[in-house]
Amino acid sequence: MGVPDIVIANAGVSTGTLNSEREDLVTFKRVIDINLYGVMHTFLPFIKAFKKRQHGQFVGIASVAGIRGLPGSGAYSASKAALINYLESMRIEMLPHNIQVTTIAPGYIKTPMTSGNTFAMPFILDVDEAVNLFIKAIDRKKKFIIIPWQMNIVGKLMRLLPASVWDFLAKQGPKKLRAMIE
């Protein structure tokens, strides 16, 4: 089949976890295994081939949840924060080889991942809308993008808030139901 032009690492899992519960460590490891190492394993077989050809694009699907720590979602939040930084490292390493790395950090999208959520999900996107925004970002070879634009404003504010303000806002926010992933 030859070397592809674009490699997208989209697979991911999300669940609520509690930092106080030892048994949740299994879920923590699994979430990080899939959401972080899964992306590395997806990209790795293509890096040398892209470098040789001096062309290619890697796309990683992160999350707004990776911008600040979310209570009740320690595993997911940590996995996506680590992913955002891994993708940034990759992006800079790939610059001399004419290889683009695009990080997409979505807010909420209507998929099975969010179908069980009982809390309000502001600016939630239908899958088709989300896919169109993904395609646009990939076509434009964006380095980092939060979608939709309303979430981009939220995400930028989240980054700027001092810890005490973030703590106050986040502690009253919605929490994903705790469940084990093995």
Ligand X SMILES: NC(=O)c1ccc[n+]([C@@H]2O[C@H](COP(=O)([O-])OP(=O)(O)OC[C@H]3O[C@@H](n4cnc5c(N)ncnc54)[C@H](OP(=O)(O)O)[C@@H]3O)[C@@H](O)[C@H]2O)c1
Q: Kindly list the residues in this chain that would bind ligand X in the complex (CB under 6 A).
A: 10-14, 34, 61, 63, 106, 108-109, 111-114
* Nearest distance from C-beta of residue 104 to ligand X, angstroms: 8
Residue with Cβ nearer ligand X (135 or 165)? 135
76 catalytic, yes or no? yes
Residue with Cβ nearer ligand X (114 or 152)? 114
State the residue for tokens 């707004």.
64
The two structure tokens encoding residue 60 = 């990683």
Residues 6+ apart with CB under 8 A from 146: 64, 105, 106, 107, 152, 154, 155, 156
The CB density around residue 96, as the number of other CB atoms within 10 Å, is 9
Residue with Cβ nearer ligand X (25 or 131)? 131
* Nearest distance from C-beta of residue 10 to ligand X, angstroms: 5
* Nearest distance from C-beta of residue 96 to ligand X, angstroms: 28
Cis peptide before 148 (omega within 30 of 0): yes
**Closest chain position to ligand X (CB):** 12
What are the catalytic residues? Answer: 76
